[in-house]
Structure 1
């Protein structure tokens, strides 16, 4: 059934006048008449009583009218749904984030701003390590990632855009020998017991720490591993060891724990936003643009 013919039929059913209907449709009367005749032939029923002075719906025409309106309404709804999806106004957005990134004021600010601008978008937040996020974006399990760049990233067709830099700080027990030091460098930690993320967890900060220590000629002595940032900071309060963490983790207030900055320039870690190159997902690109505008 020709959709255009249904549109002609509904307009004629409303106007009950060929000339006015043709003017409303922006066509001449001839193609309108041919369209109605074609529809009647296809359905095997007359839809209008026609005389020189009047046009009226037949019983078959009345039966078709409600269905025709419903069909056209569904088609219009489908067009609007596709447009909204392409424009980024509806649909789903899957965002990966690292454990520590939620402690930065930037993270809640970004998520709240996006939800305010796109209230119909279903945003799903997934806590993943940096390495796992890269895999998930490549495999289309998530759309956008907020992560710290691993020390080694294989060739990939992803776009990494820096959002913010922050220094690594030393977390330790308040009575630690370095707690009141005027200057602290990574080399001063050579003989210290470390509390760190598991090596196999794919946490970029851990890789950064390993690289910093290797640059100074030693490997950190990890005496305890912790999966969560809060656990890591909490364990330093026991005096079991020290931890190098992004400065945003200072918001985790644990009695007996102090934080000190390192007196070196290469102890900086960067938070990136990552997406697939040339991604046609409008929601993902709008999220990226919003993040870059807020940084």
Structure 2
């Protein structure tokens, strides 16, 4: 049974006139007649009684009409559902993010803007380390991620689009010996106890690389996964920490933040997604993130 034949049948059932039906469909009468004959042959029943003057539905035609309309409606609904999914209007978007990325100015704007533009898309947010996000994107557990690049080669099937870059600051107790220094460089931290993120966390890998470039390895006395905890521990005087500049918003009594006089003391957030992914929602989220980032930079 051909869906087009059903559409022709419904039109003829409504018009009960071959010429008007053909004009409404945009064809001539001959292919309309052939389509009705083919449908009758498929069903094994006459659908119309035809005379030279009139066309009327048979009992079989009346029985088919409601079902034909329902079938056509279901097919149209299926087409619309597929289009909405392919166009990114509906579905699910699984977004990974690092704990610190929530403090970036772009983060709340990005999530709010996407939800506003795609209200029928269910967005799922997952607080994960950068490495875990990369793994999740590769295994199709996530669609897109906001992350920092870990050391070493990255999977070739994942695209990393650079977003906002920010300086690393030194967080320390207000009475630390460097708190009043006019200029602080990473080399000045050679003998300092460090509060750091666990090994394998992308930001700590970057800090290790910065220190190694200057000939030393940081003396880590305490590891913590939460950046807010890092600031709290710095307030105790336990050690110093290198943190993204956005952490300054955590106003912790007894903690000061100081700039580093090192041009490479920077860290960048990337938006990551699978290479060649047909997921329109991930593509739209990425494009929105890049557009908002450019807007933030221009301001």
TM over 0.5: yes
TM-score by length of 2: 0.94
1:75-110 deviation per Cα after TM superposition (whole angstroms, max 9, x unaligned):
001111111111111112111111100101111111
In structure 1, C-alpha distance between the alignment counterparts of 2:261 and 2:4, rounded to whole Å: 73
**Larger displacement relative to structure 2 (99-108 or 253-262):** 253-262
Q: Name the structure 1 match of 2:197.
A: 197
* SS of the residue 1:273 aligns to: strand
Cα distance in 2, alignment partners of residues 15 and 125 from structure 1: 53
Could you say what secondary structure the match of 1:71 adopts? helix
Residues 86-101 of structure 1: pairs in structure 2 closer than 5 A? 86-101=86-101
Q: 1: distance between equivalents of 2:93 and 2:180?
A: 46
Matched residue, 2:296: none
Q: Which residue of 2 aligns with 1:131?
A: 131
SS of residue paired to 2:252 = coil
1:1-20 superposed Cα distances (whole Å, 9 cap, x missing partner): 11111011100011011110
Question: Within 2, Cα distance between the matches of 1:99 and 1:216?
Answer: 28
Offset at 1:49?
2.1
Which range moves more in the overlay, 211-220 or 11-20?
Answer: 211-220
The answer to whether the aligner puts 1:177 opposite 2:177 as a matched pair is yes
SS of corresponding position for 2:56: strand
Equivalent residue number for residue 111 of structure 2: 111
Displacement of 1:165 after TM fit? 1.0
TM-score normalised over the length of structure 1: 0.95
Provide the rounded CA distance (Å) in 1 between the counterparts of 2:91 and 2:135: 22
| Match of residue 41 from structure 1 | 41
Q: Deviations over 1:145-166 (max 9, x none)?
A: 1111112124523222211110
Query: Where in structure 2 are the equivalents of 1:2-17 lying within 5 Å?
Result: 2-17=2-17
Instruction: Specify the alignment match of 2:206 in structure 1.
Output: 208
Which residues of structure 1 form unaligned runs of 5+? Answer: none
Once the two structures are TM-superposed, the CA of residue 122 in structure 1 deviates from its matched residue by 1.4
SS of 1:101's partner is helix
Tell me how far 1:50 sits from its aligned partner. 1.7
1:12-63, CA deviations, whole angstroms, 9 ceiling, x for partnerless residues?
0110111100111112212212221222222222222222221121222111
CA distance in 1, matches of 2:208, 2:38: 77
1:288 aligns with 2:289: no
Comparing 95-104 with 214-223, greater Cα deviation is found at: 214-223
SS at match of 1:161: strand
Question: Which residue is equivalent to 1:234?
Answer: 232
Cα displacement string for residues 209-237 of structure 1 (whole angstroms, at most 9, x for unaligned residues) = 11111122221111111111111111111
Please say if 1:253 is aligned against 2:254: no
Q: What corresponds to 1:144 in structure 2?
A: 144
2: CA distance, partners of 1:223 / 1:77: 61
Residue-by-residue CA offset, 1:88-138 (whole Å, 9 max, x unaligned) = 111121111111001011111111111111111111111111112222222
CA distance in 1: counterparts of 2:4 and 2:160, whole angstroms: 47
How far off its partner does 1:205 sit?
A: 0.9
- Displacement over 4 Å in runs of 4+: none
Q: Which residue of 1 aligns with 2:158?
A: 158
Q: Distance in 2 between matches of 1:72 and 1:127?
A: 44
2:114 match: secondary structure: helix
Distance 1:48 1:155, change over 3 A: closer
Tell me the equivalent position of 1:78. Answer: 78
The CA deviation at 1:262 is 0.8
2:297 is matched with none
Q: CA RMSD in A?
A: 1.3
